[in-house]
């Protein structure tokens, strides 16, 4: 090894150890002088003030409902619990010890607003939300070879979310954009349905995606016959599919021709000619433009409430783990939606389909910041969304990618993110994907409540990835804490903060500090490894609460 390479390694390791030591010893709040992050906190407070009226209206609606039904809501959750919820919902991982120390160094009363502001300007949030939305837009599969680029689509969506681009503009591009799927990533929404047998995108699959992802209704259930329980008719679905009848693929990408949607009648086997038509509010369809442009304009028209309602329901589900209306893509047609849904939808469309504003409002609501109860045990099940009063934060099992994100972050005291070294980012990306593959992906229907499985428990208890992340390693969190914590109780506290985003109870602290007492060297490291493994395998770790 050359001298300059050796110097680089030594300096890098020294800087890393200094950062870790600082994170372990940093006090909970600055003792004097100007508070850390004062300017950021001020900016966050200003943004919070802008949404205060609608948050108050939302809170008042729920308080009235609780009072009318004689429900006593849960008390407010502590700040670290809400911090963990926000991190899991928006980045798919838990806060790092580094972030926890910075959070607690901020002025009291401003921390959660500032943390939410940090997250909305964090690439991790944009990437995670892009993946959540992409599952509804293009699914989870790789799609047709050559003509579909899922990663390119997700990157484009992530950039749009990070920039806080108007959501209606994002939707308009997906439905109506033209060009190559590489140069015009929004066209991947169309190209993912490419049917090699007819060498063109599939109008019926596109109609199904539009109805569920953008309208929040399952018109595709009427694809073969009139819906027996909903007002949707087969003609409604065919009319929606006809807007994509003229779309085709070429070397120039996605293009439009004259609409030629001709489905086959299931009874007569005759070819039918179907003209484009929307299932409701036809007066909102403009006269000018290609069929796809006209459909896109109808979808994003503020007078059409479905886009705003469908988006609110999905964002609520992302933040809470459950939608306001279940299933997330099947809003009631003949019944009035929940008051919170209409209130938030009106604000969303009335403020230019601002996704960041919508997230701020929901995350600032009293319902989001209430305490929760203990996770269910045995055969007991959490309340279904239709039974949910939102008088306590719902207990929801973490999705596989959230478990993976939490596991990898718990193994590192510094934050794993865009500022990490490229090698760390690569190792984290591949490691998380490997864990999710073994743990089991939820697929497109990610808000369908399912119980844990025996293989999932075994993976956490005996899996090599968990052993690697909780065990010995030059930069593993458990080993750094064993070496740098000033005493046993401090070591236990830092371990709890790193893995569970909370401090231990007096009983927990006394028990585990006793296990560490009078140990040193490898024995002390092994004890910390055992503590990390125990916390990772606790029910608390794999649930949002």
pLDDT for 204-241, tens place per residue?
999 999 999 999 998 877 666 665 666 778 888 889 99
**How many structural domains is the chain composed of?**
1
Cα torsion 130, 240, 286, 333: sign: negative
Which residues span the domain enclosing 243?
Answer: 169-300
- Asked whether residue 210 is assigned to any structural domain, the reply reads yes
Q: What is the pLDDT of residue 27?
A: 41
pTM: 0.89
Is residue 328 domain-resident?
no
Asked if the structure places residue 280 within a domain, the reply is yes
Residues in contact with 137: Cβ distance below 8 Å, sequence separation at least 6, in sequence order: 153, 157, 174, 189, 209, 213
- Classify residue 217: in a domain, yes or no: yes
Q: What is the mean pLDDT of each run of 10 residues along the chain (545 residues)?
A: 38 44 47 46 72 96 92 94 98 97 94 96 96 94 88 97 98 96 95 89 94 92 64 85 91 86 76 88 95 97 96 97 92 84 97 97 97 57 61 92 93 90 85 82 70 76 81 80 93 97 97 94 92 94 93
Q: Can you tell me whether residue 384 is helix, strand or coil?
A: coil
pLDDT score, position 57: 97
pLDDT given at position 385:
46
- 168 vs 66: CA distance, rounded Å: 34
In a domain, 133, yes or no: no
Separation of alpha carbons 441 and 505, rounded Å: 34
Asked whether residue 164 is domain-assigned, the answer is no
Is 255 strand, coil or helix? strand
Contact assessment for residue 233 and residue 227, using Cβ atoms and an 8 Å cutoff: yes
**Among 399, 397, 368, which residue's Cα sits nearest to residue 381?**
397
Tokens of 116: 């939410």
Q: How far is CA 174 from CA 168, 184, 206, 209, 220, in A?
A: 10, 10, 11, 11, 19
The CA distances from residue 445 to 20, 191, 328, in Å, are: 39, 21, 9
Q: For residue 239, which of 201, 270, 211 has the smallest C-alpha distance? A: 211
In a 3-state reduction of DSSP, which class is residue 393? coil
Backbone angles phi, psi at 254, to 5 degrees: -80, 130
Token readout for 498 is 């790193």
Q: How many CB atoms lie within 10 A of CB 22?
A: 13
- Contacts from 263-272 at CB under 8 Å and sequence distance 24+? 263/204, 263/238, 266/224, 272/238
At residue 231, the pLDDT reads 74
Residues with Cβ within 8 Å of 539's Cβ and at least 6 positions away in sequence, in order, are 375, 377
Task: Establish if 44 belongs to a structural domain.
Answer: no
β-pairing, 200-201 with 194-195? antiparallel
The CA-atom distances, in angstroms, between 165 and each of 157, 252, 270, 284, 349 are 10, 27, 45, 24, 14
In a domain, 384, yes or no: no
Whole-angstrom distance, CA of residue 385 vs CA of residue 317: 10
Element (H, E) at 151: helix 150-162
Residue 471 has a pLDDT of: 76
Per-residue CA distances from 358 to 45, 135, 452, 526 (Å): 16, 20, 31, 46
Q: Are 395 and 375 in contact (CB under 8 A)?
A: yes
Q: What separation, in Å, do the N-terminal and C-terminal C-alpha atoms of the chain show?
A: 50
pLDDT at 3: 41
């Amino acid at each position: 090894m050359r001298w300059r390479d050796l110097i680089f390694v030594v300096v890098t390791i020294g800087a890393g150890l200094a950062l870790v030591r600082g994170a372990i010893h940093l006090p909970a709040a600055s003792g004097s002088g100007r508070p850390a992050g004062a300017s950021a906190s001020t900016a966050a407070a200003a943004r919070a003030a802008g949404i205060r009226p609608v948050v108050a209206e939302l809170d008042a609606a729920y308080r009235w409902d609780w009072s009318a039904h004689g429900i006593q809501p849960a008390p407010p959750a502590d700040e670290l619990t809400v911090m963990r919820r926000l991190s899991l919902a928006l980045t798919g991982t838990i806060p790092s010890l580094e972030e926890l120390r910075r959070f607690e160094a901020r002025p009291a009363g401003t921390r959660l607003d500032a943390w939410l502001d940090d997250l909305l300007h964090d690439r991790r949030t944009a990437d995670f939300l892009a993946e959540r939305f992409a599952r509804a837009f293009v699914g989870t599969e790789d799609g047709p070879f050559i003509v579909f680029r899922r990663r390119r689509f997700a990157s484009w969506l992530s950039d749009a979310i990070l920039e806080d681009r108007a959501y209606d503009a994002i939707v308009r591009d997906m439905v109506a954009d033209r060009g190559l799927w590489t140069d015009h990533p929004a066209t991947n929404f169309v190209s993912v349905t490419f049917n090699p047998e007819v060498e063109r995108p599939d109008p019926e699959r596109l109609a199904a995606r539009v109805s569920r992802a953008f309208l929040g209704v399952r018109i595709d259930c009427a694809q073969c016959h009139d819906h027996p329980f909903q007002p949707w008719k087969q003609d409604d679905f065919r009319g929606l599919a006809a807007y994509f009848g003229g779309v085709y693929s070429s070397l120039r990408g996605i293009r439009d021709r004259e609409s030629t949607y001709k489905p086959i009648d299931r009874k007569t086997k005759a070819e039918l000619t179907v003209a484009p038509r929307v299932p409701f509010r036809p007066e909102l369809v403009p006269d000018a433009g290609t069929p796809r442009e006209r459909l896109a304009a109808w979808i994003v028209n503020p007078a059409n409430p479905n886009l705003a309602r469908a988006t609110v329901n999905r964002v609520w589900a992302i933040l809470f783990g459950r939608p306001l209306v279940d299933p997330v893509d099947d809003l009631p047609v003949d019944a009035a939606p929940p008051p919170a849904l209409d209130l938030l939808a009106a604000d969303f469309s009335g403020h230019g389909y601002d996704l960041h504003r919508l997230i701020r409002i929901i995350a600032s609501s009293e319902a989001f910041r209430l305490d929760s109860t203990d996770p269910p045990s045995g055969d007991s099940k959490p309340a279904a969304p239709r039974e949910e009063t939102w008088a306590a934060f719902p207990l929801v099992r973490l999705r596989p990618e959230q478990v993976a994100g939490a596991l990898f972050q718990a193994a590192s005291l510094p934050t794993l993110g865009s500022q990490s070294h490229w090698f760390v980012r690569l190792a984290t990306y591949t490691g998380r994907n490997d864990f999710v593959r073994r743990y089991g992906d939820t697929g497109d229907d990610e808000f369908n409540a399912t119980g844990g499985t025996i293989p999932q428990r075994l993976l956490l208890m005996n899996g090599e990835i968990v052993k690697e992340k909780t065990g010995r390693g030059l930069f593993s969190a458990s080993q750094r804490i064993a070496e740098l914590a000033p005493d046993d109780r401090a070591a236990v506290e830092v371990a709890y903060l790193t893995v569970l985003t909370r401090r231990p109870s007096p009983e927990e602290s006394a028990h585990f500090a006793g296990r560490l007492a009078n140990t040193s060297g490898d024995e002390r490291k092994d004890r910390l490894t055992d503590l990390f493994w125990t916390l990772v395998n606790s029910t608390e770790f794999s649930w949002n609460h």
